Amino acid sequence: MELITTHTHTNFTNHGEGSVEQLVCAAKAAGITTLAITEHFPLSKAMDPEQYLSMRTENMPHYLAEIKQAQKKHPDIEILCGTELDWLGDFEDRVLDPADFAPFDVVLGSVHFVDGWAFDDPAERGRWDEVGPDAIWRRYFEIWCEAVVSDAPFQIMAHPDLAKKFGIYPSFDLMPLYEQAAEACASSGRMIEVNTSGAHYACAEMFPAPDLLRAFCRAGVECTVGTDAHTPGNVARGIEQAYQLLLQAGYQTVTVPTADGDRRHITIA
Ligand SMILES: [Zn+2]
Ligand SMILES: [Zn+2]
């Protein structure tokens, strides 16, 4: 079975390890055919004071150049040039020019912030106890739905239920919020990913949850697979299990974005 990952990181952000070259070599060794490298798009100094969460603006040209170089050097693997872009909602403090996104084959849309709070950052975890999970989960999906129908340049919505990362769940049934998220995503035409990294956090399951993935499938939302590797050794972690999860949710194909902005499909059934 063909293996793909459309979500990976490098040492271009301070919480990632390994160069572009090391990541590509690890992907080739694992038999991956399409690798999207999707470094965190720069945040402002106000949102990311330590420049820990995202790439420095001044490193962007080097990042793009290294990917280009890797594409030339490794024609035997499809390397997509990508970025993971935060949806900040009302807290957006950058001027995002469409031209900034022209170099990218793939833009992931991510909600890592709820009203300016990096809710999935272990350093910020205390706020979960202060605010309480019910309010956070409701607000998370509100923001997620805003992001998915926005005019941001997202093609793929990353880790759709990232709010579960620490394994803290609301007291209410999440199904109605899942249905809303699936409908919003379907109306936008965007795809989602199964993000395998969730299996290694406290939530101990991939993103999204099986019920949410089934809702996406019912709504006709296409799905790709990302390992969200922050080190080359994890580049292929869990891809085959992700295909199984897709099958169990009712999917028969995994979708892969292509460099020309189109999509191709791998049959998993
Ligand atoms: Zn992310
Ligand atoms: Zn990521």
Cβ–Cβ under 8 Å, residues 101 and 107: yes
Residue-level pLDDT at 269:
80
C-alpha span between 201 and 122 (Å, rounded): 11
How far, in Å, from the CA of 175 to the mean position of ligand 1? 23
DSSP assignment of 204-218: -SPBSPHHHHHHHHH
Residue-level pLDDT at 71:
98
The ligand with the least distance to the CA atom of 40 is: 2
Q: The pTM is what?
A: 0.97
Q: Domain total for the chain?
A: 1
The ligand with the least distance to the CA atom of 165 is: 1
Domain containing 245: what range?
Answer: 3-267
Torsion angle of C-alpha atoms 243, 246, 252, 253, degrees rounded to 10: -60
Biggest alpha carbon–alpha carbon distance for the chain: 52
Residue-level pLDDT at 35:
98
How far, in Å, from the CA of 224 to the mean position of ligand 1? 15
How far, in Å, from the CA of 160 to the mean position of ligand 2? 12
C-alpha span between 125 and 97 (Å, rounded): 32
C-alpha span between 187 and 92 (Å, rounded): 24
Side-chain-side CA neighbours of 222 within 13 Å: the count stands at: 18
Residue-level pLDDT at 68:
98
The ligand with the least distance to the CA atom of 13 is: 2
| CATH code: domain of residue 171 | 3.20.20.140
Residue-level pLDDT at 31:
98
The ligand with the least distance to the CA atom of 228 is: 2
C-alpha span between 125 and 46 (Å, rounded): 19
Residue-level pLDDT at 48:
94
Residue-level pLDDT at 125:
94
How far, in Å, from the CA of 230 to the mean position of ligand 1? 10
Query: What are the per-10-residue average pLDDT scores of the chain (269 residues)?
Result: 97 96 98 98 95 95 98 98 97 95 98 96 93 97 98 97 98 98 98 98 98 98 98 98 98 96 94
